[in-house]
Amino acid sequence: MNDAAQGYKPLGRTGMAARLAQDIPEGWYVNLGIGIPTLVADHIPADREVVVHSENGILGIAAAPEPHKENPWLINASSQRVSLRPGGSFFHHADSFAMVRGGHLDLCVLGGFQVAANGDLANWAHSANEVGRQIGGAMDLAVGAKRVWVVMEHVTKDGQARILRQCSYPLTAAACVSRVYTNLAVLDVTPRGFVVIDMIPGLGFDELQAWTEAPLLRA
């Protein structure tokens, strides 16, 4: 994805997080997964009341604290020190996942390895035989939240497609993703497949399709 040669500049991690943050309306309860999703918290305007949930028992996470104002007892699910909005609350892990699994979150934002045209998500392992198994809360979130948005690079570091007809990695959950934010585009998962609802400036539909294994539809 050589941006100089191609006349468009893929978003960076911060750019993807900021793009996604735009679309979260006031009043939503939102869980932000590990990785790029965590950055989303820093891009929600301070005057827009979005209540950010963290699996380790927190509602109301605010932007990262200034270095000298850190609270060592207050970390997010990525083990980063965070701050709390007025109105925030603490609860234990079973209550925290009751929120997740009981359908109380309006949205969860997850990182992804692969997303399929039917909304299948793979984001925790590259094969069934891998020793490393980092499931964390992703399966609970993918099944439990009202909406699942995935944010990830459009292709792998070595150029392999991640937006697929079918996932080849072990699933996190079936048919759970409703939208994908990548460094190139925003795609809705619909009964007809992926629909492109936004692209970065300078990128054409055909170029996007070239980076994508699954067939894309115009909005």
Partner 1 sequence: MIDKFVRSMAEAMAGIRDGATVLIAGFGDVGMPNALLDGLIEQGAGNLTVVVNSAGRVHKPGAATQGIARLIELGRVRKVITSFVRAQSIAGDWVRDGRMEAEVVPQGTLAERIRAAGAGVPAFFTPTGAGTLVAEGKEVRSYNGRPCILEEALPGDVALVEAWMADRWGNLVFRDASRNFNPIMAMAGALTVVQTHHVCDVGQLPANEIVTPGIFVDRVLHVAAGDPKLTR
Binding-site ranges for partner 1 (CB under 8 A):
26-27, 29, 49, 51, 53-60, 71-75, 77, 79, 81, 84, 86-94, 96-105, 125, 128, 130-140, 143-144, 170-174
Q: How far is the CB of 203 from partner 1 (least distance, A)?
A: 34
3-state secondary structure of 102: coil
Tokens at 69, concatenated: 């104002």
Tokens at 8, concatenated: 């468009």
Note the helical H segments in 40-116. 93-101
Which of 98, 217 has the CB closer to partner 1? 98
Contact 57, 96 (CB under 8 A): yes
For residue 117, CA distances in Å to 1, 54, 173, 212 come to: 22, 28, 13, 11
Tokens at 136, concatenated: 């964390």
Q: How far is the CB of 29 from partner 1 (least distance, A)?
A: 5
DSSP-derived letter for residue 42 is: G
Which of 30, 216 has the CB closer to partner 1? 30
Which of 111, 137 has the CB closer to partner 1? 137
Q: How far is the CB of 86 from partner 1 (least distance, A)?
A: 3
Measured in whole angstroms, the distance separating CA 73 from the mean position of its chain's CA atoms is 25
Residue 104, sorted as left (phi over 0), alpha (psi -120 to 50) or beta, turns out to be alpha
H or E segment and range at residue 37:
helix 36-39
The whole-angstrom separation of Cα 27 and Cα 50 is 5
Active-site residues: which are they?
55
Which of 109, 185 has the CB closer to partner 1? 109
Which of 15, 136 has the CB closer to partner 1? 136
Q: How far is the CB of 190 from partner 1 (least distance, A)?
A: 20
Q: How far is the CB of 78 from partner 1 (least distance, A)?
A: 8
